[in-house]
Structure 1
Amino acid sequence: MATIKSVKRWFWWHKWTSLICTAFLLLLCLTGLPLIFHEEIEELTEAKKELTHAPDAKPVPVDEMVKTAVAHFPGKVAKLVVWDKEHPGLVNVTVGDSPSSAYQTDKYVAINAYTGEIEDTPVVQEGFMWVMLRLHVDLFAGIPGKLLMALMGILFVIAIVSGIVLYGPIMKKFDFGMIRTEKSSRVKWLDMHNLLGIVTLTWATVVGLTGVINALGDVMLYAWQQGQLTEMTAPYKNAKPLTGELSSLDDAMKIVQQREPEMQPYFVAFPGTMYSSKHHYAVFVRGNTPLTERLLKPALIDAQTGQLTDMREMPFFVNAYFISQPLHFGDYGGMPLKMIWALFDIATIVVLISGLYLWFARRKSSKEQLARMEASYNLTATI
């Protein structure tokens, strides 16, 4: 009896967690499919630009590139400088209304690092891929949307675990992968649902867990700001606001490069932005291997004196967030892995649709059975 109760309990968990999150998961799978191939789609839809410079050209000072970007958008201030990994030799400068202004008002300037000339001023907040990304990440609802997606991801993982518990005892009686073609349509769909569910098990678990981590990225960033970053900037808690011209960003880069010669720059956050304090440049560097290039190390440079004040490894939960991003989209193994990710994504869509079909079919079957019982009762009562 205890076993029957346990099975019923797991079935209840599997049914309701699946039903609650299915619509959201279908949306995530459908929007995730083009996002897997976002680089290839962008190459096809965007005009290609070749970066040209003299063979013996040296990089233009970062300070000059920042001045160029700010001059291109009068009234804006520099917020971020990002070294483009996909296009070596290209530096992207983000400018905004203020260091802490919302990203929706930001402008972007892509500069040739060897000529100092502006290559492009991309508008990233429009187009098909932008819509797919926003639907996938937060449903255009900001932080509440991300938290909702995180909850749906947790329910998805529970549905996977409960499905495993239910699938094990069932398969003791049948061969693995069996499809009972001689049975009703509902039974055939049930077998297909179970088969695809178990085949995509590992992938779905990985994508589900990394999706939850990605959705909680803002929460993790806030925890880092309130924890490690606050600790690193504690001596500046009562410091006077910055005045006058800031120290050289190029000098700051040299200091960090001397401290970590085996690492390369990823991005620099200006004072007052969400990645820094009100008194520091935050220079983020990364490794050179496929794994370490996802792990960032921040260095804080006093923006008034140009001195290095602190440099530490990021907390484990932030590193987990950085690693989960490429893992979620299969974006670390080239086209073969992307194709595998896409096939599993499509198989998961079939699992979700078949699950909905089975639920509706079961409800219809139960109603028909109840109608037959009532008809039988009424017929008996009239005899």
Structure 2
Amino acid sequence: MKPINKHKKDHKLLWKIHHWSGLYAGIVIGILCFTGAVAVFIPEIDGLIQSRYYSVHAATPAPGQLFKIDQALAEAKKQYPKMSGLLIDMPDKPGRVATFSFAVKGKDKASSKSYFLFVDPVKDQILGSWDRQNSLANYLRQMHVRLYEGFWGRQLVGLAGVAFIVVTVTGFLIYGQFMKKQTYPKVRRKGMRILMGDWHKILGISALAFNFVIACTGAWLGLQPKLMQWFDIKAPNDHDFPKLMKPKADAATLVHWDQVFLVLRKEFPDLKPGYLRASEDGTSTIEVHGSIDGQIYEKNINALVLAKTSYKPLFKCDVRTMSFSQRFYSVQEALHFGDYGGLGLKIVYTVLGLTSAFLSISGFVVYLYRTDKKQQRRMSPWKTTFVYCLLILIVLVVIALISMFIGYRQASAVAAWLVNGSLFGYIIYVIVVAILKKRNSNTKSIGI
């Protein structure tokens, strides 16, 4: 009898862990799964907005033709002579535009502005400008990565990933044995609680491998900045160079990007440039980050660093020559966003991501049905779930509208109030409930 009792206790413990992890992290997990299901198409969304809304198109380069951006950059510097922090994003497909991203500093932070210019890297000309921060693609990116909140948001996303791991593993241990007794994929129609419970189990088991990968990579990507700081972890493409001149002189040094592309073809012919950056800190370097076709690794993890005056290679990071630990580090983001297998894989990621979002809803419905008789709620479980989902959807839409039509900073401020306010309110709620429970237990013990 002891082994049986122990098995029951272990099962109850697993159920409690699964129950509470899913209940308290389910809203964040649901938001991340929903936004992530759409965020896999961020490059396609960016391209569609650029071509349809801004009506910008780049010429298609001839086979073997090098990019040219020197004239466009010279024109940009004439228009914005005080530009700083220039980042050049290169097109990922033929016919797509490149972009110049930079800031023009004002007297204070509030008066500083960011600019984004469309550039044809074949005809070497500026096509127009746009506001990347207020775009739909940036909203999806910021909401999924940090809940649109700068300080706690990314940590909360990482912790939600940890909770998702716990929910996935405990769900497999709980329902894996149960599914052996039930024909797969059988759904029993014995009331709403049983119906939703069966769908929850079937979809959870079906998306088990996907959820585990997304949870692990999401937890790492969310907590990555802090973990790298605490454990002194360095990215494979990290590099340090001595300062050779004053920052002002470095920023004023002219870069011939035509020459950079020639050296890149010679020194790293397989590298497909993703973004380019010239130093402004005195190191006198040029960074070229990019990807290699056919590789399942983080975008732009490969790098080639050149001396700004001589264009000689100073540093090269090639994912194919990395150690196992470095390749394992580099594969996390690609596995999380599914951007290594084309449009078909992205569609699969979207379907599975929406399935994972549904698990948060179905799990909440099952919980409400389980506790409905004890709690004696006024609203039915379905009405309660509908209200919760509607409120969350309204919040997401409102922040999106503020971000796209008013401004990124305003949307970020609203999200910060909501995230921090919810976190603070939840902590207060837990403390109050704990105090009340302790008071009630003390009252019962003395017989009052």
When normalised by structure 1's length, the TM-score is: 0.79
When structure 1 is superposed on structure 2, of 18-27 and 311-320 the one drifting more is 311-320
* CA contact 1:224–1:318 (8 Å) conserved in 2: no
Structure 2 partner of 1:153: 161
Structure 1 partner of 2:203: 196
Of 282, 287, 293 in structure 1, the residue corresponding to residue 292 of structure 2 is: 287
Of 353, 371, 378 in structure 1, the residue corresponding to residue 361 of structure 2 is: 353
Whichever residue aligns with residue 116 of structure 1, its letter is: D
Secondary structure of the residue aligned to 2:187 is coil
Residue 289 (structure 1) shift: 2.6
Tell me, in whole angstroms, the C-alpha distance in 2 between the residues paired with 1:306 and 1:224: 35
Structure 1 partner of 2:274: 266
* CA contact 1:214–1:321 (8 Å) conserved in 2: no
Tell me, in whole angstroms, the C-alpha distance in 2 between the residues paired with 1:325 and 1:231: 17
* CA contact 1:70–1:95 (8 Å) conserved in 2: no
Whichever residue aligns with residue 357 of structure 1, its letter is: V
Secondary structure of the residue aligned to 1:77 is strand
Tell me, in whole angstroms, the C-alpha distance in 2 between the residues paired with 1:111 and 1:264: 18
> Alpha carbons of 1:156 and 1:241: their partners in 2 closer, same or farther (altered >3 Å)?
same
Structure 2 partner of 1:15: 19
When normalised by structure 2's length, the TM-score is: 0.68
Whichever residue aligns with residue 214 of structure 1, its letter is: L
Secondary structure of the residue aligned to 1:281 is strand
Instruction: Report whether the alignment pairs 1:205 with 2:212.
Output: yes
Residue 154 (structure 1) shift: 1.1
Structure 1 segment 1-383 matched on structure 2, within 5 A: 1-42=5-46, 43=48, 46-52=53-59, 61-88=68-95, 90-97=97-104, 105-181=113-189, 183-216=190-223, 218=225, 227=234, 232-233=239-240, 236=242, 239-242=244-247, 243=249, 245-246=252-253, 248-250=255-257, 251-272=259-280, 278-291=283-296, 294=299, 296-313=301-318, 320=328, 323-367=331-375
* CA contact 2:162–2:215 (8 Å) conserved in 1: yes
* CA contact 2:197–2:362 (8 Å) conserved in 1: yes
> Alpha carbons of 1:338 and 1:261: their partners in 2 closer, same or farther (altered >3 Å)?
closer
Whichever residue aligns with residue 294 of structure 2, its letter is: T
> Alpha carbons of 1:337 and 1:135: their partners in 2 closer, same or farther (altered >3 Å)?
same
Tell me, in whole angstroms, the C-alpha distance in 1 between the residues paired with 2:228 and 2:311: 25
* CA contact 1:57–1:114 (8 Å) conserved in 2: no
Whichever residue aligns with residue 100 of structure 2, its letter is: V
Tell me, in whole angstroms, the C-alpha distance in 1 between the residues paired with 2:310 and 2:212: 49
* CA contact 2:35–2:143 (8 Å) conserved in 1: yes
Tell me, in whole angstroms, the C-alpha distance in 2 between the residues paired with 1:170 and 1:262: 50
* CA contact 1:78–1:93 (8 Å) conserved in 2: no
Task: Tell me how many residue pairs correspond in the alignment.
Answer: 359
> Alpha carbons of 1:299 and 1:221: their partners in 2 closer, same or farther (altered >3 Å)?
farther
> Alpha carbons of 1:320 and 1:223: their partners in 2 closer, same or farther (altered >3 Å)?
farther
Residue 166 (structure 1) shift: 0.6
Tell me, in whole angstroms, the C-alpha distance in 2 between the residues paired with 1:241 and 1:140: 36
Residue 24 (structure 1) shift: 0.6
Structure 1 unaligned spans of 5+: 369-383
> Alpha carbons of 1:301 and 1:150: their partners in 2 closer, same or farther (altered >3 Å)?
same
* CA contact 2:100–2:118 (8 Å) conserved in 1: yes
> Alpha carbons of 1:5 and 1:346: their partners in 2 closer, same or farther (altered >3 Å)?
same
Tell me, in whole angstroms, the C-alpha distance in 1 between the residues paired with 2:206 and 2:231: 37
* CA contact 1:299–1:308 (8 Å) conserved in 2: yes
Residue 105 (structure 1) shift: 4.0
Tell me, in whole angstroms, the C-alpha distance in 1 between the residues paired with 2:254 and 2:95: 26
Across the aligned residues of Structure 1 and Structure 2, the Cα RMSD in angstroms comes to 3.6
Structure 2 partner of 1:374: none
Secondary structure of the residue aligned to 2:87 is strand
When structure 1 is superposed on structure 2, of 7-16 and 302-311 the one drifting more is 302-311
What is the percent sequence identity of the aligned residues?
19
Residue 162 (structure 1) shift: 0.4
Residue 206 (structure 1) shift: 2.2
Whichever residue aligns with residue 151 of structure 1, its letter is: L
> Alpha carbons of 1:295 and 1:284: their partners in 2 closer, same or farther (altered >3 Å)?
closer
When structure 1 is superposed on structure 2, of 216-225 and 323-332 the one drifting more is 216-225
* CA contact 2:85–2:280 (8 Å) conserved in 1: no
Residue 163 (structure 1) shift: 0.5
Secondary structure of the residue aligned to 2:130 is coil
* CA contact 2:69–2:124 (8 Å) conserved in 1: no
Structure 2 unaligned spans of 5+: 377-448
